[in-house]
Amino acid sequence: MTKEFIIAGFGGQGIVSSGIILAYAGLFENLNVTFFPSYGAEMRGGTANCQVVVSDEKIASPVVVNPDIVIIMNEPSLLKFEPVVKPGGMLFFNQTLIKSKPARKDVEIIPIEANKIAEELGQGRIANMVMLGAMVKKTKMVSIESMKKAQRKRFERASEEQLALNDRALERGYALF
Amino acid sequence: MAEKELMYGNHALVEGVIHAGCRFFAGYPITPQNESPEYMSIRMNEVGGVFLQTESEIAAINMLFGAAAAGARAMTSSSSPGISLMQEGLSYIAGADVPVLVVNIARGGPGLGNIAPAQSDYFQAVKSGGHGDYHTIVLAPNSVQEMFEFPRLAFELAEKYRNPALILADGLLGQMMEPVEIKGEPIDPKTLPEQDWWLTGCKGREKRVIRSYDLRPGKLEEWNWRRWEKYQKILKNEQRYEDIKIDDADILIVAYGTSARVAEAGLRIARQKGLKVGLLRPITLWPFPSDILSELSKRIEDILVVEMSLGQMIEDVKLVVEGRSKIHFIGHPGGGLPNAQEIYNKILEIRSKK
Amino acid sequence: MKLLFGRPAGLTDINQRYCPGCGHGIVHRLIGELLVEMNIREKTIGVAPVGCSVFADEYFNCDMIQVPHGRAPAVATGIKRTRPDCMVFTYQGDGDLAAIGTAEMIHVAARNENITIIFINNAIYGMTGGQLAPTTLPGMRSTTSVKGRDVVTQGYPIKVCELLNALDGPYYLERVAVDIPRNIIKTKKAIKTAFQYQLDNKGFSLIEILSMCPTGWGVTPVQAKKWIAEVMANYYPLGELRNRAKEAK
């Protein structure tokens, strides 16, 4: 089983971190993983996206053109990536910040109040964790425990307070379904 | 199995370089390989090595010349425009038979081009990018694991033949992350045996000279012929490749590096549909794996070359195949990437004309 | 028969192919003598340039490397960082150092790299046939400025020592000449000082040596010596421009 992901949003929404956390979680479950960020001019400020592949077999291409799963954090990314999701795939979108409604009928559309929930927890910038929590619940690709371990790996130097908050955001997303 | 670590290609390269016992880096910033020198500056400091951020790639390659002549395992990393600047130095280094390692995390060109992954420096890498008759040993990784492993292989080949070696990767291999297994024991540079050509100060021996010139009539020709003999040995002994499902293949894809990864994805789609497609991935671009390709071309009618360029390796494929097979091509110059579906579609098209 | 005067052991027996009256042979000899007198021949690695002194790799009796045009300071950096216990010097002409190798020259000095540059300034490209050099004087004829250097179209000469003296990096900068015995003795002293500073890990030194090129200048050797004293040294004043050791006192 191979699943291809694209995670997209503004720079600063933790897009790259989300991809790396997902990749680590896969690695912790002995799956094969690849992570490839868009880089360069886009890296500073503008839109950011990354491509992640998680698989129980050797991964051929790290290049994701038609993802099985997309996590969309902002409006411009919805325009860009809604059309390319694989039929039968899943589209998670950050309903707090995205006013448009995804129109695809052949894709499961999953709205998440990511920023709203994150603000409730006290920190808007952990909206990505809420999204990731929801995504792992829906896709069952990796466990929530692996995600928690992975975020701790990613943010090695963060305070325990922050790490605990990240865990809570993952759990809140996970508990949505 | 040792625990795997998720690493960027550019970081894995650094770990591989340190693991290989290299303690000398000189380089100039350029995207998309900046993570390498940034990380290298930290790692070299930790292991007591030399890290020099230079005034130019020209200075960097010449610092390697000096360091390697004095007996160091020395390396630099850069990207396409910077590698162009190093060609003069590489020519001298090849002409002086000095082993160094140069890494090209290639990007779209020509000119300033862009910073997207590309394979358009193949000609420069394998056909002697500078002036004069010479070859550089060229290794093409296609995973982060190989980004870690190839520096060691490159140094070993470079030293075995006293020849510069190049790792030709691209922005995708540099910027992507994959799990890496740290294999083998790290090399302590102090254990590397002193060579009889190193410049160390002539204590208790005759002076040594490292140079690339000889103005005496006929002497340079002789010297170049000796180097040709070395190249023949490399061509005979060092061809490396990976083959995937070639045994029953009636269509063969030839691709290296990132293109080979995407090609393998295309191959899998084709195999699922029952098409007999194989993949030959050159690991050494020079020496090009001619022997296996020549064999395969005797029974496989169609060969599809996939490159992130206008078509460069395809010329070597044609030289080897000598018209025995039909050569097809998918190319993406200027930082474009092929995709699996496109490769599958091309295979269908080739199939339909059979 | 007793040998009273011969080649120093710091030079090889190979016949040097310099023109009559050329200053390179004098400077080679001074370095060759110092390699022995300072007992550093067996720990020295020399870097030969491109230009008339390209064959310096044959002439000096120590480990040598011959390198791309202008890149000697970079190569020397690589050697010195690899073998800090070795004495590393480059031997470069004005085209090599101050034209094609300007960037390497400035940055090696800015880094205060612990090496020594022996810089032969003869105001002309010797090997390629007397073309305009970055050090050719205003009005001076060369094969690419046949009516004399026109500063309007060909710009002004580069004063290397003054240029480097604008940097914080260098430890020792001195300009000398090899036109007359007194100056030759001063030149030897300057090179010796530079080598000693390197041995003492003080850092970067450059000795600029005004040197004769009668062939390139189209004059006799005697006229060439006179021209250094009367013309060239006026444009490029002799003396010590930087000596951190003296500043420290």
C-chain residues within 8 Å CB-CB of B52?
A: 77, 81
pLDDT at C39: 98
B3: confidence class by pLDDT, cuts 50, 70, 90: confident
ipTM over 0.85: yes
Going through A11-46 in order, the beta strands assigned E by DSSP cover 32-37
B248 domain-assigned: yes
Q: Are B313 and B188 part of one and the same domain?
A: no
| Closest residue by Cα to residue A6 from A88, A75, A107, A92 | A92
Contacts of A51 (CB under 8 A, 6+ apart): A4, A5, A6, A19, A34, A35, A36, A37, A62, A63, A64, A67
Would the CB atoms of B202 and C78 count as touching at under 8 Å? no
CATH tag, C24-248: 3.40.50.970
Q: Mean of the pLDDT values across residues A146-173? A: 97
pLDDT at A12 over 90: no
Q: What tens digit of pLDDT does each residue of C23-37 get?
A: 999 999 999 999 999
Mean pLDDT of chain B: 97
Instruction: Classify burial at C169, counting beta carbons within 10 Å of its beta carbon; exposed 0-12, middle 13-18, buried 19 or more.
Output: middle
| B111-147: burial string, b at 16+ Cβ within 10 Å, e else | eebbbbbbbbbbebbbebbbeeebbbbbbbbbbbbbb
User: What percent of chain C has a predicted confidence (pLDDT) above 90?
Assistant: 96
Asked if C184 contacts C26 with a C-beta cutoff of 8 angstroms, the reply is: yes
Q: Mean of the pLDDT values across residues C203-218? A: 97
Q: What tens digit of pLDDT does each residue of A1-10 get?
A: 899 999 999 9
Instruction: Classify burial at B30, counting beta carbons within 10 Å of its beta carbon; exposed 0-12, middle 13-18, buried 19 or more.
Output: buried
pLDDT at C168 over 80: yes
Q: Which amino acid is at B328?
A: H
Strand-pair category, A47-55 with B209-210:
unpaired
Q: Mean of the pLDDT values across residues C13-23? A: 95
Task: Residue B16: give its domain's CATH number.
Answer: 3.40.50.970
Cβ neighbours around A34 below 10 Å, total: 28
Q: Mean of the pLDDT values across residues B92-120? A: 97
Q: For residue B170, which phi and psi values (nearest 5 degrees)? A: -145, 175
Q: Are B119 and B260 part of one and the same domain?
A: no
Domain range holding A63? 2-174
Instruction: Classify burial at C228, counting beta carbons within 10 Å of its beta carbon; exposed 0-12, middle 13-18, buried 19 or more.
Output: buried
pLDDT at A39: 60
Cβ neighbours around B95 below 10 Å, total: 22
B29 domain-assigned: yes
Asked if B78 contacts B54 with a C-beta cutoff of 8 angstroms, the reply is: no
What count of Cα atoms within 13 Å lies in the side-chain half-sphere of residue A12?
6
Domain coordinates in residue numbering, chain C: 24-248
Show which residues on chain B lie within 8 Å of chain A, measured between beta carbons: 4, 6, 31-32, 114-116, 171-172, 175-179, 258, 261-262, 264-265, 267-268, 337, 339-341
Q: What tens digit of pLDDT does each residue of B279-306 get?
A: 999 999 999 999 999 999 999 999 999 9
Would the CB atoms of B209 and C106 count as touching at under 8 Å? no
Total domain count, chain B: 2
Contacts of B151 (CB under 8 A, 6+ apart): B13, B16, B17, B19, B20, B22, B75, B101, B103, B167
Q: Which amino acid is at C146?
A: V
Q: Mean of the pLDDT values across residues B309-335? A: 98
Q: Mean of the pLDDT values across residues A63-90? A: 96
Cα angle, residue A92 at apex, residues A90 and A97 outer, rounded to 5°: 155
Q: What tens digit of pLDDT does each residue of B25-41 get?
A: 999 999 999 999 999 99
C-chain residues within 8 Å CB-CB of B72?
A: 78, 82
Task: Residue A168: give its domain's CATH number.
Answer: 3.40.920.10
A47: confidence class by pLDDT, cuts 50, 70, 90: confident
Q: Which of B182, B206, B233 is the last residue of a domain?
A: B233
B-chain residues within 8 Å CB-CB of A39?
A: 31-32, 115, 171, 175
User: What percent of chain A has a predicted confidence (pLDDT) above 70?
Assistant: 95
Would the CB atoms of B6 and A62 count as touching at under 8 Å? no
Total domain count, chain A: 1
What count of Cα atoms within 13 Å lies in the side-chain half-sphere of residue B68?
34
Q: Mean of the pLDDT values across residues C227-241? A: 98
Mean pLDDT of chain A: 94
C249: confidence class by pLDDT, cuts 50, 70, 90: confident
pLDDT at B2: 61
Domain range holding B79? 4-198+228-233
User: Of A39, A41, A65, which has the smallest distance from its Cβ to B175's Cβ?
Assistant: A39
User: What percent of chain B has a predicted confidence (pLDDT) above 70?
Assistant: 99
Q: Mean of the pLDDT values across residues B240-259? A: 98
B95 domain-assigned: yes
Q: Give CA–CA dist B331/B306, Å, rounded.
A: 6
Chains in contact with B via at least 3 Cβ–Cβ pairs below 8 Å: A, C
Tokens describing residue B96: 């002086």
Q: Are B111 and B54 part of one and the same domain?
A: yes
Size of interface A-B (CB pairs under 8 A): 66
B149 domain-assigned: yes
User: What is residue B288's three-state secondary structure?
Assistant: coil
Mean pLDDT of chain C: 97
Q: In the structure, do chain B and chain C come into contact, i.e. share 3 or more CB pairs under 8 Å?
A: yes
pLDDT at B184 over 60: yes
pLDDT at B1 over 60: no
Q: Are B177 and B36 part of one and the same domain?
A: yes
| A43 vs C87, higher pLDDT | C87
Instruction: Classify burial at B237, counting beta carbons within 10 Å of its beta carbon; exposed 0-12, middle 13-18, buried 19 or more.
Output: exposed
pLDDT at C3: 87
B-chain residues within 8 Å CB-CB of A23?
A: 6, 177
B220 domain-assigned: no
pLDDT at A67: 97
Q: Is the peptide bond before C170 cis (omega within 30 degrees of 0)?
A: no
- The CA distance from B343 to the nearest CA of chain C, in Å, is 45
pLDDT at B25: 98
User: What is residue B349's three-state secondary structure?
Assistant: helix
Q: Which of B233, B254, B277 is the last residue of a domain?
A: B233
